[in-house]
Amino acid sequence: MRKLYIRLSIALVAFILAAIFSGQTAAAEEGTCYLKASNKDVFVIIYDMDRDGNQGAQIWQGRLNQGESTKLTAPHARFRYDYNDQPDQDQPLSGGGDRWCNNLNTVLVP
């Protein structure tokens, strides 16, 4: 009978630890995605979007070469981007769309 209690206790502790660690992984992927330059080099500025769809603070900017990607974390799991698809020339940015950023999905720009 004592062995049964020990085994059940170990199983319960293992189950609790598995639940705790799997929850942290899921939470870490919420609001996280990859930004990828689809067919040419591009300069991108990323802005956070709040739950009401309002543009928030800038969360990333930089150049992505064709096929290159970077990991992005958006606090509200949504972002808006502006881009220049000729990054070697000084020209105005074009407005990109609003995008969701979840579950490590890949978002192509432009």
Element (H, E) at 101: none
Pairing of strands 55-64, 42-49: antiparallel
24 inside domain:
no
pLDDT of residue 47: 95
CATH number for the domain spanning 87: value is 2.60.40
Examine residue 90 and state whether it is found in any structural domain, yes or no: yes
Alpha-carbon span 4 to 12, nearest angstrom: 12
In a domain, 26, yes or no: no
Q: Classify residue 103: in a domain, yes or no.
A: yes
Q: How many domains does the chain have?
A: 1
Least confident of 11-20, 60-69, 82-91: 11-20
Look at residue 51 and tell me if it is in a domain. Answer: yes
The whole-angstrom separation of Cα 73 and Cα 3 is 47
* Distance (Å) of CA 5 to CA 2, 15, 38: 5, 15, 57
Q: pLDDT digit string (tens) for 81-90?
A: 999 988 888 8
Domain carrying residue 43: 31-109
Query: Taking 60 as the threshold, does the pLDDT of residue 17 lie above it?
Result: no
